[in-house]
Every structure is written in C-alpha cells, then in structure tokens.
Amino acid sequence: MKLTYIALGVALCASSVAASAQAPTEDEVILHAWSWNLNTIAENMKKIADAGYTYVQTSPVQTCYVGEDGGLALFSQEGDSVSGKWYYYYQPIDWQIGNYIMGTRDDFRNMCDSARVYGVKVIVDVLPNHTAIDDSAVTESLINAVGGRDNLFHANGFTPITNYNDRLQCTTGEMGGLKDVNTENPDFQRYYLQYVNDLINLGARGFRYDTAKHIGLPSDPLDPKSERNNFWPVVTGRESVEGLTLFMPDSLYIYGEVLQDRNVPEEEYAEYMDMTASSYGHVLREALRKGAFNEDVLTNWHHRVAPEHLVTWVESHDTYCNEHESADMTDDQMRMGWVFLTARQHGRPLFFSRPAGSTRENYWGNNVLGARGNDEFFHPEVVAVNKFRTAMSGQPEELTTAKEGAVVEVCRGEAGAAVINLSDKDQKVKMATSLPDGDYTDAVYGSQFKVVKGNLEGKLSPMTSYIIYAK
C-alpha cells in the first residue's frame, strides 16, 4: 500500500502560524530524561548530543512537597526497604528553582552550562495549575506574594472535578486531590513569571506545560474570583503583568499537555503553544501491538490541529506510569514506533526514557529516582533515525507498506528512507520506493538493499529498522 501524505487537520489561524514561525523547527528531537536528576543529565549531556537529540526535557524543578520522608524510590510499595514516589515533584509548594528529587538551583545552572557546551537545548516541565495535595505545606513566601492563602486558589479550587468535559470544572476545579491555583490572579502570574524568567536566565530554552488543558483560555468561563482568563497571553509573552514580561519569547519552544477529549478547544490552545498528540500515540501503540500498520495510523494524525504543531510520542511518562497503559510493550516495539515517528516529516517527536533495569514484569527496574534511564535512548537504530530526521529537513514524506502492513517504508523525497520490520519474522521485501535505482548500504547495520525500477529489494531481520541514504 503506497500513501503520499496529505496534510489533515484544521489549518491554524494566521496569528498562530506567525507565533509559531519563530519557534524551533520540526526537524528537532526531544529526549524526555524522565526522573533523571539535574546532575545525571549534565553527566550524560555528551551522550545525549551524540545521540542526535536537539532538546533534553527535565522533570519539574520547582520546590515540591517532600513525600515519604524524602525517599528516592521511583515507586515504593508496602514492604519495600526503600520509600518514595516519582510524582511528588508534580506537587508544588512554591515556585522557586530546586527540590530534593531533581537538585538545586546551582545544579540547574550547571546542567544548562553543560547543555550549551554540547549544543543541546533544555526544556523544563512546569506546572502552575495546582499545589500539593497537602496544601498546608505551601510556603509562606508564596502565600504572601499572592496576597494571602485565599487568593492562591480558585473559588472552585477545592471542589473535585466530576465532569472533565465541563470547561469551568476542568479549568478551576480540584484534580485528583490537587488544589487548583488561581492562575488568573495577577500577583500569582507575576510570581510565577519570575520563576520562569529565572529558568530562562540560567539557560532554559523551552517549557512543557503540565495539565495545560486545566488552565483556562480567554474564551473559557470565568472563575468567580477572576476578571479575565489571561494566563496564557502572559506566560507566552503576549502580555505583561505588573510590569513584568516573559524573557526571550521568540527563542523558546513551548508546548502543552492538552490531552484530547470532548469539548477541548484545541484550536485556541494552538494560538499559544504546540500540543501533545495523545490520540495518535494510542493509535500508534495499537498498530505496534498488532505488528502491522494500516492506513489510519499512516495518514490520520487524529487531531484538529495540523501536525506541524504537535509533539508526538510512542509513549509518555503517564502512559508508562499511571495505569501502565504502555509499560507492557517491549523496548523493541517502542523502538520500531520511534523510528517510524522520527523518520516522518511532521510532528516533533519526544523519546520517553524508561527506567534502568526495567522489564515487562518489573516496570520500575532499579527503582531509583535521579538515575539515568535504560540504554534505549542511544540504541544504534534510535541514534540513526535521530540524525536521519535532521538530514532530511524539508524533504516530503511518502509512506509505503508491504507484507500486510508488517513492513513500512518512510521515504523522504529521493534523499533517503527508513525501513521498519514490525514482525517477529525475517522478511524478504520488494516494495515501491522513491529512492533512485541503485545499490544501497544501510547506515545502522551495513545491510545491503537494491532499488530496481522503483522497487526496493532486501532482507529484514525481525523487529529491526534500517536507515538508507541516497548517494
């Protein structure tokens, strides 16, 4: 089956395109160094750069709730000799740089200095939407800065969300026990913006907004305490607050965790940031489980916004950790999906680094917060496709399948191709290609391919990918 990509999804308005035009290009690749602490990221920066990543994304670095006596297990269970949980850094008690899991402000500065040396840019996971479940742990400096405890939270901030498709509940209510911050309070906006600007001054060059769909857009209904929903205009540099403006807005890459659901105004979010392609990730994983691609996963991005404005993934830390939706899938399956996503023309792919020592029976592996993930982020096939994406800048994609979808080829013009065998069997293929006729050697394993009269011929090992460059 041969499919030439036709852009699907709604075209963005002119203001959105203009805002995104100054952002980094689609050719870039993000490593999500999930739960690596700042020193670990710094120590591995050369390896990250050598593996072809443009960005490294950190876990949250703001002051957080200290859970389980500061234990540093990824996820401890009853009877374990260690304690701790990865998600405590998602429970802010202040917006200052440094926490017991990730490291100090100096550690952040040093990590950014290392990134600069190796030409890697830093994305920080930020979460202004809520505080810790134990809101009594919020610091006095934060309370004073926002004009008192009552001004820190929405009027509905302690009322649990019962209908996530109700925009007032979704953007002002308590989510999973996390108290909802009054993000429309100008005093809070200024305090939070000081934190963001501090990160930028130290070297951050992008932000991932956690639970972004839980922060209201200008068109959303107002919380009783709010006069207007202007958080997104402020934190993306379109507006100032109390004399303070976002630093370097044109040099930052900003995207939001806007998980897809009914009644989510995705087009309006796209005016301020790129978004996560959560539905496409689900569809892709289903194809990987079946060991066969179909037309749906090849042509439909399952999003109302054009793919140029999507962050794509095979899995995220949420699909791996929360309900283990993707954790049972093998590293080989994840890698085949990654090669497919990254070889494509559109989307900005994000590689989730699984825990070191993890298996399909033991998802937490060595179970140590702060440690480097497993070796998959620099597997030879991953490195090869990361570099292939950069090399193929501007080349149009053409997708072809063979063997009832078990083999897929991503051609990028006449300049190169990625060939992926999703099956657990050797495959001998003859499939249409846009590569010129001739003999080819793949860049990963040195395997030989031939193109004769517009058909690619070669042998593929089980669950293996190949990267081919035109001469």
Q: Which residues are catalytic?
A: 210, 257
Phi then psi dihedrals of residue 103, to 5 deg: 130, -170
Amino acid at 31: L
What's the length of the chain? 471
Return the HEC string of the chain: CEEECCCCCECCCHHHHHHHHCCCCCCCCEEECCCECHHHHHHCHHHHHHCCCCEEEECCCEEECCCHHHCCCCECCCCCCCCCEHHHHHCEEEEEECECCCECHHHHHHHHHHHHHHCCEEEEEECCCECCCCHHHCCHHHHHHCCCHHHHECCCCCCECCCCCCHHHHHHCEECCECEECCCCHHHHHHHHHHHHHHHHHCEEEEEECCHHHCCCCCCCCCCCCCCCCHHHHHCCCCCECCECCCCHHHCEEEECCCCCCCCCHHHHCCCCEEECHHHHHHHHHHHHHCCCCHHHHHCCCCCECHHHEEECCCCHHHHHCCCCCCCCCHHHHHHHHHHHHHCCCCEEEEECCECCCCCCCCCCCCCCECCECHHHHCHHHHHHHHHHHHCCCCCEEEEEECCCCEEEEEECCCEEEEEECCCCCEEEEEECCCCCEEEECCCCCCEEEEECCEEEEEECCCEEEEEECC
Contact 52, 391 (CB under 8 A): no
CA triplet 126, 33, 245: central angle to 5 degrees?
25
CA distance 381 to 464: 8
The answer to whether the Cα torsion of 156, 157, 163, 168 is positive or negative is positive
CA distance 29 to 420: 19
Contact 188, 146 (CB under 8 A): yes
Contact 471, 449 (CB under 8 A): no
Lookup: tokens for 56: 């490294």
